[in-house]
Amino acid sequence: MSAVAIGVRERRRRDGVRRGARRVVAVALFLLALVGLYELYRWVWSSAGFTWPFAVDSTSMPHVWTILKAFGQPAQVNQPPLGTILFHKALFTAKEAIVGFGLGAIIGFFLGVVLVHSRLLQRGVLPYIVASQTIPILAIAPMVVIWVNPKLPASFQGWGSVAVIAAFLTFFPVTINTLRGLQSADPRALELMRTYAASRWTVLWKLRVPASMPYVFSALKLAATACVVGAIIGELPSGLQSGLGGAILNFNQYYSIEPQELWATNIVAALLGIVFFVTVVLVEKVVVRRAPENVG
Amino acid sequence: MSALEPVVKIEKVTKVFPRGNVTALQDIDLTIDHGEFISLIGPSGCGKSTLLRVVGDLTEPTEGSVTVNGKPARRARLDHDYGIVFQDAVLFDWRTVSKNIAVPLELLGWDRERRRNRVDEMLELVELVGFGDHHPWQLSGGMQQRVSIARALAFEPALLLMDEPFGALDEMTRERLNLELLSIWHQLGSTVIFVTHSISEAVFLSTRVVVMSPRPGRIAGVVEIDLPAQRGVETREDPRYFELVTHVRELLRKRGEHLLPEEEQQLLEAAE
């Protein structure tokens, strides 16, 4: 029997590899098609002279190759190429985003666990948690910087407060989905735990938390991209120059002269978000063992 | 607990659900001795599942008392005196078969070595050797239910409660699992309370069949099943088996006819 089982596992693994390869090819083709469409649109609009919705020229829509070339050229004299600079700025922003993600995920999860045990708290606290997300992040960022920065150790100065802002965007989906996930435990399974005279704590760790994992991970996927956005926006009012937010602010001012640099920065920011997202997806694949049809 | 003491003693148990004021059980008296296999049978709404839940302290009786192993039902539940199997296997998707069987053992604080040994024994008992590393969704419904039985028996409870455990399975799987359950019961010598809709299943498995009638849930009669202790495929062809099946069926029907108009009235009221 176990020989059959191993055979099944081996086949499933091979199927997985094949499916993965097919997906990579599909993504590459899709990207290529997107670039083709972009250039086609550009060509049609500029040669026909359409001005709706906007006139197409090398400022509004630089060529794809112009943008790609910008990565290899220095943005200012006597500097390393833009690609190298953006890479380091991306690492800086990634540091803020990772810490923000971790902080937000832990706080979010903890809040979900607390809330699931108290109807009263759910009714009392949840509206404020929802309300907190209606505040534009730019509006509270300066306050967070002023409140948080003085308390941070030297090595956390500046970027630490940006991580807190990123955490502010991260915790919300995690709280909401953790709460839903913890409540998703099968009532009959809860009853089964009751027949074992299991404590609340045991029920939480053996049943509710594992049952919540698919929900928690779909929140973490949202949070993975949200924390990157949070980190970039958080850099703006903090006056930090070392991250992608600072670069975006800077290249904004030169957009009319050198638009390709802002485009290049945007691509790097998007890539960073994708890397975060994919990382969460991969971790989910390892952690969440579920019936294939239940994987959301 | 002395050997002479009954495993389960149900005295004057009445259960009224406040919602709709439905009397699910009325004046139930039942004593179950060590090693018995008791089936509770009756139409839907006769309170057979409620009675099982009262024994398991999953719901409290409105009146009367239940003792398990000489203790109040609540104490017995806290002492892990019974294992339970539901209609659905209720396995944890994120655990392998072996880890599912080990859940109650983990809660009892058994160490890893002891857990592994017991899980291996249980896999053998329910004939799932080689499936320990599978996940529940990779198994058929019948196999999942066997895992659920292994989990319920893993910590050797004196009492096994089964709430229509084979109700969701096809007839063939059901008959095979009936035979397996009998063999497990003979091997372990535990006491079983088995809720079912099926007359043939109840007669085939039990030492006594408790026939219940609905609204309010009452015991309509208790049928001693005097078939030989060792039962097999040939039991289902035994004339005595047919007599007993007919007897149970008549008990069910008689009570049904007797109660029908009043019952219907109550059913309508409850539905409103």
Task: Give the tens place of pLDDT for each residue, B7-38.
Answer: 999 999 999 998 888 889 999 999 999 999 99
What's the pLDDT at A292? 58
Band (pLDDT 50/70/90 cuts) for residue A113 is very high
Of the residues A61, A92, A111, which one is the last residue of a structural domain?
A61
B78 → closest Cβ in A197, A289, A291 = A197
Provide CB contacts within 8 A for A290, sequence distance 6+. A214, B93, B94, B137
- Specify the pLDDT at position A83: 95
User: Looking at the partner chain, which of A5, A188, A288 has a beta carbon nearest the beta carbon of B86?
Assistant: A188
d(CA A85, CA A243): 10
User: Residue B94 in contact with residue A210, Cβ under 8 Å?
Assistant: yes
CB contact under 8 A, B78 and A194: no
Please state the rounded mean pLDDT for residues A222-231: 95
CA-to-CA dists, residue A240 to A87, A248, B77, B106, angstroms = 16, 11, 61, 51
Residues 208-237, chain A: which have Cβ within 8 Å of B? 210-211, 213
Terminal alpha carbon distance of chain B: 47
Higher-confidence residue: A12 or A112? A112
Does some domain include residue A153? yes
Domain B8-81+159-271 sits in CATH at: 3.40.50.300
Chain B window 26-85: which residues touch A at a Cβ cutoff of 8 Å?
56, 58, 77-80, 82-84
Q: Per the structure, how many domains does chain A have? A: 2
**Residue A121 Cα, gap to closest chain B Cα (Å):** 27
pLDDT of residue A140: 87
pLDDT tens-digit series, residues B181-202:
999 999 999 999 999 989 999 9
What is the spatial distance between Cα A272 and Cα A274, in angstroms, rounded to a whole number? 5
Which residue from B68, B52, B62 is spatially nearest to B193, judged by alpha carbons? B52
ipTM: 0.88
The bridge status of strand B63-68 relative to strand B208-213 is unpaired
Name the band, by pLDDT with cuts 50, 70 and 90, for residue A239. Answer: confident
DSSP A208: I
Check B107 against A206: CB less than 8 A apart.
yes
B68 or B46, higher pLDDT: B68
Tell me the CA end-to-end span of chain A in Å, nearest whole number.
31
* Chain B residues touching A292 at Cβ < 8 A: 137
A192 contacts chain B (CB < 8 A): yes
Higher confidence at residue A211 or residue B256? Answer: A211
Find chain B residues with C-beta within 8 A of A201's C-beta: none
A165 near A234, Cβ under 8 Å?
yes
Looking at chain B, which residue has its C-alpha nearest residue A196? B80
Shared-domain flag, residues A76 and A53 = no
Are A192 and B86 a contacting pair at CB < 8 A? yes
Using CA coordinates, name the residue in chain B closest to A197: B78
Q: How far is CA A212 from the centre of its chain?
A: 20
CB nearest to B90's CB, from A186, A213, A290: A186
The reply to whether A37 and A162 lie within a common domain is no
Report the pLDDT averaged over residues A81-103. 96
8 Å CB contact of B94 and A202: no
| Subunit contact B93:A194, Cβ cutoff 8 A | no
Radius of gyration of chain A (CA): 24
Residue B192 near residue B38, CB atoms below 8 Å: yes
Residues A95 and A7 reside in one and the same domain: no
Q: Tell whether the model's pLDDT for residue B267 goes beyond 60.
A: no
Largest Cα–Cα distance in chain B? 60
The answer, yes or no, to whether residue B236 has pLDDT greater than 60, is yes
> Does one domain contain both A125 and A184?
yes
Least confident of A5-19, A168-182, B179-193: A5-19
Which residues of chain B from 124 to 153 reach within 8 Å of chain A, CB to CB?
129-131, 133-137
Give residue A61's identity as a one-letter amino acid code.
Answer: M
Mean pLDDT calculated for residue range A125-141 = 90
B195 Cα to chain A: minimum distance (Å): 17
Same domain, A116 and A257: yes
* CB contact B99 to A (< 8 Å): no
Decide: B178 and B39 in contact? Cβ < 8 Å: no
Q: Is A194 on the interface with B (CB under 8 A)?
A: yes
What are the CA-CA distances from residue A67 to residues A70, A80, B110 (Å)?
Answer: 5, 17, 63
> What integer is the mean pLDDT of A70-75?
92
Smallest Cα–Cα separation from A147: which of A133, A132, A131, A165?
A: A165
CA dihedral A54, A57, A59, A61 (to 10 degrees): 70
Rounded (10°) angle between helices B112-125 and B141-153: 130
Shared-domain flag, residues A33 and A97? no
pLDDT of residue B52: 96
pLDDT digit string (tens) for B89-143? 999 999 999 999 999 999 999 999 999 999 999 999 999 999 999 999 999 999 9
Q: Is the pLDDT of residue B4 over 80?
A: no
A39 versus A2: the higher-pLDDT residue is: A39
| Minimal Cβ distance to A198: which of B82, B107, B130 | B107
Sign of CA dihedral A74, A80, A83, A87: negative
Q: Are residues A198 and A225 in the same domain?
A: yes
- Is the CB of A253 inside 8 Å of chain B's CB atoms? no
Q: Whole domain around residue A228: which residue ranges?
A: 72-294
- Tell whether A130 and A171 lie within a shared domain: yes
CA-based torsion, A114, A200, B163, B84: positive or negative:
positive
Whether residue B13 contacts residue B54, with contact meaning beta carbons closer than 8 Å, is answered with yes
CB B14 within 8 A of CB B27: yes
For chain A, say whether B90 makes contact (Cβ under 8 Å): yes
A64-72 vs A2-48: helix axis angle to the nearest 10?
110
Judged by CB atoms closer than 8 Å, whether chains meet at A189 and B137 is answered as no
B121 touches A: beta carbon within 8 Å: no
Give residue A198's pLDDT.
Answer: 95
Look up the pTM and report it.
Answer: 0.84
Is some CB atom of chain A closer than 8 A to the CB atom of B104? yes
- Please report the pLDDT score of residue A294 as a whole number: 47
Residue A66: CB atoms within 10 Å: 15
Q: Is A200 found in the same domain as A169?
A: yes
Chain A partners of B86 at a C-beta cutoff of 8 Å? Answer: 188, 191-192
Residue A16 sits in the same domain as residue A94 = no
Tell me the pLDDT of chain A averaged across its residues. Answer: 91
Q: Which residues of A touch B90 (CB under 8 A)?
A: 186, 188-189, 192
Please compute the mean of the pLDDT values over residues A216-235 and round it to a whole number.
95
Given a cut of 70, is residue B263 above it in pLDDT? no
Average pLDDT for A159-178 = 94
CB-CB neighbours of B236 under 10 Å:
15
For residues A18 and A102, state if they share a domain: no
Q: Where are the domains of chain B?
A: 8-81+159-271, 89-156
Please give the residue of chain B at the shortest CA–CA distance from A214.
B94
pLDDT band at B258 (very low <50, low <70, confident <90, very high): very low
CB–CB contact B107 A5 (8 Å): no
Same domain for A28 and A140? Answer: no
CB within 8 Å: A5 and B82: no
Look up residue B164 and give its DSSP letter: S
* Closest-CA distance of chain B to residue A24, Å: 28
Percent of residues, chain A, with pLDDT higher than 70: 95
- Last residue of one domain, picked from the residues A14, A29, A61: A61
CATH number at residue A172: 1.10.3720.10
Tokens 């880890």, located at residue: B99
Q: Determine, yes or no, domain membership for A67.
A: no
- The rounded mean pLDDT for chain B is 90
